Amino acid sequence: MHALLRRFASSLVVSCQPVPGGPLDHPESVVGFALAALASGARGLRIEGVANLTAVRAATDAPIIGLIKRDMDTSPVRITPLIEDIDALADAGADIIAFDGTDRVRPVDAATLCARVHARGRLAMADISTLAEAEAAIAYGADIVGTTMSGYTGGPEPTEPDFALLAACVRLGHPVIAEGRIRIPDQAAEAIRLGAHGVVVGSAITRPEHITSWFAEAIETVRSARGGRPTLAFDIGGTKMLVALVEGDRVLATREEPTPRAADAEAWCDRVAALAEAFKGDFDAAGGCVTGVVQNGLWTALNPETLPIPPGFALGEGLARRLGVEVTLYNDAQAAAWGEYRFGAGAGADLVFLTVSTGIGGGVVLDGRLRTGKSGIAGSAGLTRLIGPTGRGALLESAASGPAFAAGATEAGIGGDAIAVFAAAEAGDPRADEIIDRSAALVAAAIENMNWLFDPDVFVLGGGIGLAKGYRERIEHRLAELPPLARPVLRAAALGKHAGVIGAADLARHKS
């Protein structure tokens, strides 16, 4: 390998090319960008224009890739298209001279340009857009191949780096520089992992106009979304029905009533529509979260003990007809998982959400995506089986959620529901403590098992029982006995009972 190439092997090269005609488009600014880049870890520079190159060469002996851009009437080729351009760059002090190596109509063929670069004692870099062009460049003697032109020779301009082309060029066994749409550190690191000799980053470092526009556009997207009407969100559970008007992570207003368990699914739709009547005209989209599983708007019970939902009930269609807008539906725990990921205790982290209430539900968010699975049941922790004496035991939620508390209270002579059990425990009743401990032990074991499966950044615990005083601490006490490698992080849900509607509203907005 040439000694010059070794100076920036597996390193960052910063392209100091201001926006043409912009306020920073003068040699003094280019020198400032170049010196700042080198001081911060860059090992090479890519400089356009003779005046800029001359100024930067006087300020540093770092490796410089030089080029000249021209707009020509007879050819789409812009990067160093002429022999005189190569001579000017060599005279200005470029160590490497980059030229367009694409297979297009051009004033001088690429092989001739490459030969002239070598005649001037410089290394030649061919900026290509295809693997065939890379192979041709190597054949005519280019010292370096750059992926610079990928996506810029016709058709819509892509937004992501062309890692497939980079990997294919690397396999040719010749030095390759990754360039083009590399905007974040992870992309630069991926290019090096794929075998790039160096990575050129330009706009993301030296064009404040572009960087500012990326941030401004992202903020404007959110601002425009908030400028519209709020989203209607509803939660149909085994205990309550909640309808809310939601904007971002804010619940603006709610209406709530107990779920009429003895009624049928059509009546449940009627009740949701009646609760939403107070918000008529205030929303233009709706998202719902429900106990059970939803596939293509059809609602089915996962555990009929929680709520006796008829198989395949057309909930999405029924509510859309009543509400007058499209309705996006998710399982309640999955929607809550998304809410906690977007705005709550697991913001931006890989997480598993568990809700312990009338039933036990769960949701999984990995790599920024809510994982629902092919059947919509992903994360349904409550339907996992305990291991009994003969193998297949009871459902986790049958043994550890609200009905189990009520059954345990009756058996112990306390009476009442989970609320009564927690009140009795706070008053010092050991029978109540035993009921709570039994549930916490089972949920702790489920979390331990799921931690081995998903290894998330955090587990988020919600639900009426999950958030009851002292319940999470009992689980954490059991998890503390595990070795550090297997010990999960557990946090209380930050959005409380509104996690599901906040998540459902956000999912509905993303879809729309």
Domain assignment of residue 194, given as a range: 3-213
For 199, phi then psi, to 5°, come to: -125, 120
How many C-beta neighbours within 10 Å does residue 498 have?
Answer: 24
Q: Residue 176: which of 144, 133, 135 has the closest Cα? A: 144
For residue range 247-256, what is the model confidence (pLDDT) as tens digits? 988 999 999 9
Q: In terms of Cα–Cα distance, which of 362, 323, 391, 330 is closest to 454?
A: 362
| Same domain assignment for residues 48 and 172 | yes
CA dihedral in degrees (240, 245, 248, 250; nearest 10)? -70
Both 69 and 165 in a single domain?
A: yes
Q: Considering only the C-alpha atoms of the chain, give the largest distance between any 2 of them, rounded to a whole number of Å.
A: 98
* Pair 105, 239 in one domain: no
The CATH number of whichever domain residue 285 belongs to comes to 3.30.420.40
Q: Do 85 and 178 reside in the same domain of the chain?
A: yes
Same-domain check for residues 355 and 463:
yes
Residue 512 has pLDDT above 50, yes or no: no
Last residue of a domain, one of 180, 213, 246: 213
Average pLDDT over residues 87-109: 97
Residue that is last in its domain, among 182, 213, 244: 213
Q: Within a domain: residue 170?
A: yes
CB 258 within 8 A of CB 313: no
Which residues are registered as beta bridge partners of 458? 351
d(CA 344, CA 423): 28
What pLDDT shows up at residue 71? 94
Q: How many domains does the chain have?
A: 3
User: Do residue 245 and residue 369 come from a single domain?
Assistant: no
**Burial state string for 146-185 with b = 16 or more CB within 10 A and e = fewer than 16:** bbbbbbbbeeeeeeebbbebbbbbbeeebbbbbbbbbbee
- In DSSP notation, 28-83 reads HHHHHHHHHHHHTT--EEEEESHHHHHHHHHH--S-EEEE-B---SS-S--BS-SH
Contact 345, 458 (CB under 8 A): yes
Co-location of 458 and 374 in the same domain: yes
pLDDT band with cut points at 50, 70 and 90 for residue 228: low
Position 391 scores a pLDDT of 61
Give helix 332-343 / helix 499-511 axis angle, nearest 10°.
80
Task: Give the pLDDT confidence of 374-405 residue by residue, as tens digits.
Answer: 888 888 888 888 876 656 778 898 899 999 99
Residue whose token pair is 């990754």:
178
Distances 405 to 58, 118, 412 between C-alpha atoms, Å: 79, 83, 10
Average pLDDT, the chain: 92
* Beta strands 286-290 and 250-258, pairing class: unpaired
Q: Is residue 509 part of a domain?
A: no
In this structure, the answer to whether residues 199 and 236 fall within a common structural domain is no
pLDDT-derived band at 82 (thresholds 50, 70, 90) equals very high
Q: What is the CATH number of the domain that holds 58?
A: 3.20.20.70
pLDDT digits (tens, 9 = 90+) for 454-463: 999 999 999 8
The reply to whether 276 and 357 lie within a common domain is no
226, part of any domain: no
Which amino acid type is present at position 440? A
Per-residue pLDDT band at 222 (split at 50, 70, 90):
low
Residues 6+ positions from 320 with CB-CB distance below 8 Å = 286, 326, 327
Looking at the structure, tell me whether residues 72 and 152 fall in a common domain: yes
Residues 243 and 323 placed together within one structural domain of the fold = yes
Paired tokens of 289: 């979260």
**Could you tell me if 407 and 284 lie in one domain?**
no
The residue type found at 183 is R
The predicted structure's pLDDT at residue 149: 97
